[in-house]
């Protein structure tokens, strides 16, 4: 294809994407919807502008690689370890339950057994790429439910790749045992190799290339492609390879600089990814598949979140955490389409099922984007119906006396609460820690700290601990819904102490100040403001700066 024609296609696609992005932004919807709609309009079903499909497919894969590379760069292994068990249990459990229920629905709708199992398995997976992008846009990627969601989505991706490898083995004549042994053997070799590279070779190499910012950038990008390519050739997929490439650099002091330089590339190629995704959403045979589309969409939008909610509640998590995490599985994955394409190529199912999958994909991606963007508000609406799932608030026996007499309440232990706790102890007042992460509660119990398992946004809990009688209330949970509920409760009960809450943005901080907050923590701006105050106060006094640097080094 001539370069001029490709340039024209690229330009018109981006213009259409910008127009629809402006439209959805006007209605406060996720920009992803605008990109997908642009792909539908530019796709073969409407304007048919995408003749260079191969080029755009490659660009979309680059976007996926850069997204997961940046996720790997910011991956906190301590946090991942903390949620590893719940992520594994939830990811495997949700896939199994959705597959069983979806298989039954397929049979009831008149599909044969093979088609039913393909559809059930395909609709059991959720899109890691879409969810990570939405969580990053909301700045929820490091929240408890965000870390758990990313964890079980990666578990789903691993299961999907195992299924694809198994299907490929069956179609090529190999047995499932041979395919499994091959994957295990490759993992046994690759994991130690990448650990050695990350721990031993990468630090000195990065120190050398960091002498030039341009060299650091090209090194990071090339490393992403190298590791992703090796893992792809080994049968693990580009996604896992790009993630591991980021993880191997995550322990470096240069990871923030790498992340900042790769981010513009990631955002550009991700736009192409979502446009290409939209071009695949065709509507052939939509009339005859209307009922199955509605039923399977309901399974994905309602059934999948309900399954996640029940699994996480059974494992001891608060229904709020389960509900928020559940909203992240309310759409189908790119693996869903890959699995169905493989089934069609193998002759197991009819091509018409792709029309059903594309319809379900468009509906669920559009609605789930809204669900994730507004999941806190939606939970508040449905919280009365979930009251029966709320656990009874329990306090360690040795701290029952502090339950109603705590003068300082600290809501949310990690990460800010853990830093604040020593200062709280210096106040020489009775205190109580409240968190709804069962693992954090267990850790506090082991430390012998007065603690309570519960949801700060629940007025019943606030009444139970008599929060309005405390002298100081500190919430480190950067959730505007939690903060406004807490401030409203305290205001209605004529609270006279000091209340400090946390939010994500300055606009949300203004709302909290209007509700009576004495101070609002905005993590993204706090350090900059404090530095500005220090700069203004000390100006060019070398001794003050040297003392500050000494304090930082000791920390």
Question: Whose structure tokens read 């490439």?
Answer: 245
Most confident of 190-199, 349-358, 409-418, 469-478: 469-478
Most confident among 83-97, 297-311, 314-328 (mean pLDDT): 297-311
Is pLDDT of 201 > 80? yes
Beta-carbon count within 10 A of 214 CB: 9
User: What is the tens place of the pLDDT at every residue in 207-219?
Assistant: 888 888 888 889 9
Q: Could you tell me which of 423, 422, 415, 429 has the C-alpha nearest to residue 476?
A: 415
Res 387: pLDDT: 73
pLDDT higher at 221 or 464: 221
pLDDT of residue 168: 64
Q: Could you identify the residue written with the tokens 């229904």?
A: 319
Of 341 and 535, more confident: 341
Pull the structure tokens for residue 347: 């002759």
Nearest-angstrom CA–CA distance, 195 and 117: 38
Pairwise CA distance, residues 195 & 227, whole Å:
13
Ranking 197-206, 346-355, 470-479 by mean pLDDT, the lowest is 346-355
Average pLDDT, the chain: 79
Spatial separation of the C-alpha atoms in residues 65 and 245, rounded to whole Å: 10
Question: Stretch 485-505: mean pLDDT, rounded?
Answer: 86
Structure tokens at 349: 């199912």
Statement: residue 551 has pLDDT above 50: no
The answer to whether the peptide bond before residue 415 is cis (omega within 30 degrees of 0) is yes
- φ/ψ region of 392 (left if φ > 0, alpha if ψ in -120 to 50, else beta) reads beta
What DSSP string runs through 118-166?
HHHHHTT---HHHHHHHHHHHT-TTSHHHHHHHHHHHHHHHHHHHHHHH
Going from the N-terminus, what domains does the chain have, and what CATH number goes with each? Answer: 23-382 (1.20.1530.20), 396-521 (3.40.50.720)
Q: Does the structure show a pLDDT above 80 at 64?
A: no
Report the chain's terminal Cα–Cα distance, integer Å.
59
User: How crowded is residue 150: how many other Cβ atoms within 10 Å of its Cβ?
Assistant: 24
Q: What is the pLDDT of residue 553?
A: 40
Question: What values do phi and psi take at 253, rounded to 5?
Answer: -70, -10
The most confident of 45-59, 126-140, 496-510, by mean pLDDT: 496-510
- Kindly indicate the confidence band of residue 286, based on its pLDDT and cuts at 50, 70 and 90: low
* C-alpha to C-alpha distances, 255 to 24, 86, 166, 252, 450, nearest whole angstrom: 33, 27, 36, 6, 37
Residue 406, pLDDT score: 82
- Here the tokens at position 33 are 């919807």
Whether the pLDDT of residue 162 is over 60: the answer is: yes
Residue 541 has pLDDT above 70, yes or no: no
Average pLDDT of span 51-62: 80
- Read off the pLDDT of residues 425-445 as tens digits, 9 standing for 90 and up: 888 888 888 887 777 877 888
What are 265's two structure tokens? 């590339």
Which residues touch 21 (CB under 8 Å, ≥6 apart)? 31, 34, 35, 38
Give the angle subtended at the CA of 461 by the CAs of 457 and 462, to the nearest 5°. Answer: 75
pLDDT at 552: 40
Q: What is the mean pLDDT of residues 150-178?
A: 72
Whether the per-residue pLDDT at 379 is higher than 50: the answer is yes
* Residue 535's pLDDT band (cuts 50, 70, 90): low
Mean pLDDT computed over 234-262: 79
Per-residue model confidence (pLDDT) at position 482 = 83
Q: Which of 22-36, 174-188, 532-546 has the highest mean pLDDT?
A: 22-36
Distance of alpha carbon 177 from alpha carbon 104, whole angstroms: 28
Q: What does the alpha-carbon distance between residue 26 and residue 41 come to, in Å, rounded to a whole number?
A: 19
Backbone dihedral region of 139: left (phi > 0), alpha (psi from -120 to 50 degrees) or beta? left
* pLDDT value, residue 195: 78
Paired sense of beta strands 431-435 and 451-453, if any: parallel
pLDDT > 70 in the chain, percent: 83
Confidence of residue 404 (pLDDT cuts 50, 70, 90): low
């Amino acid at each position: 294809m001539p370069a001029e024609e490709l340039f024209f296609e690229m330009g018109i696609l981006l213009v259409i994407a910008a127009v629809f992005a402006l439209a959805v932004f006007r209605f406060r919807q996720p920009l992803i919807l605008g990109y997908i709609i642009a792909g539908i309009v530019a796709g073969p079903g409407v304007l048919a502008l995408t003749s260079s499909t191969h080029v755009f497919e490659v660009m979309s894969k680059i976007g996926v690689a850069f997204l997961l590379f940046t996720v790997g760069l910011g991956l906190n292994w301590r946090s991942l370890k903390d949620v590893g068990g719940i992520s594994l249990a939830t990811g495997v459990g949700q896939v199994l339950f959705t597959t069983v229920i979806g298989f039954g629905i397929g049979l009831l709708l008149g599909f044969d057994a093979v088609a039913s199992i393909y559809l059930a398995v395909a609709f059991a997976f959720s899109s890691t790429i879409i969810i990570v992008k939405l969580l990053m846009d909301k700045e929820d990627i490091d929240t408890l439910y965000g870390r758990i969601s990313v964890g079980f989505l990666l578990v789903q991706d691993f299961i999907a790749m195992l299924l694809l490898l198994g299907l490929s083995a069956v179609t090529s004549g190999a047995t499932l045992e041979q395919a499994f042994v091959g994957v295990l053997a490759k993992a046994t070799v690759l994991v130690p190799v990448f650990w050695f590279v990350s721990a031993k070779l990468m630090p000195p190499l990065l120190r050398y290339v960091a002498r030039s910012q341009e060299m650091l950038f090209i090194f990071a990008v090339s490393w992403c492609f190298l590791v992703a390519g090796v893992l792809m050739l080994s049968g693990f997929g580009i996604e896992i390879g790009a993630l591991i490439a980021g993880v191997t650099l995550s322990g470096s002091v240069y990871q923030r600089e790498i992340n900042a330089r790769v981010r513009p590339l990631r955002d550009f190629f991700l736009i192409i990814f979502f446009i290409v995704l939209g071009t695949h959403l065709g509507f052939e045979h939509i009339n005859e598949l209307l009922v199955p589309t509605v039923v399977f969409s309901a399974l994905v939008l309602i059934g999948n979140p309900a399954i996640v909610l029940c699994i996480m509640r059974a494992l001891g998590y608060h229904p709020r955490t389960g509900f928020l995490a559940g909203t992240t599985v309310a759409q189908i994955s790119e693996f869903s389409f890959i699995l169905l394409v493989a089934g069609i190529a193998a002759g197991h199912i009819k091509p018409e099922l792709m029309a059903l999958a594309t319809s379900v994909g468009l509906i669920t991606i559009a609605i789930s984007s809204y669900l994730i963007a507004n999941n806190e508000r939606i939970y508040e609406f449905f919280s009365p119906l979930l009251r029966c799932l709320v656990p009874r608030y329990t306090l360690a026996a040795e701290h029952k006396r502090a339950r109603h007499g705590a003068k300082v309440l600290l809501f949310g232990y990690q990460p800010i609460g853990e830093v604040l706790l020593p200062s709280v102890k210096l106040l020489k007042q009775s205190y109580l820690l409240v968190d709804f992460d069962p693992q954090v509660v267990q850790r506090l119990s082991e430390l012998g700290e007065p603690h309570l398992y519960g949801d700060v946004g629940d007025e019943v809990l606030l009444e139970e601990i008599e929060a309005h009688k405390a002298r100081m209330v500190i919430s480190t949970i950067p959730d505007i819904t939690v903060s406004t509920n807490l401030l409203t409760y305290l205001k209605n009960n004529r609270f006279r102490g000091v209340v400090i809450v946390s939010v994500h943005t300055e606009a949300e901080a203004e709302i909290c100040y209007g509700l009576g907050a004495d101070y609002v923590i905005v993590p993204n701006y706090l350090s900059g403001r404090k530095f500005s105050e220090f700069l203004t106060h000390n100006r060019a006094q070398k001794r003050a700066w040297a003392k500050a640097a000494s304090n930082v080094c000791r920390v």
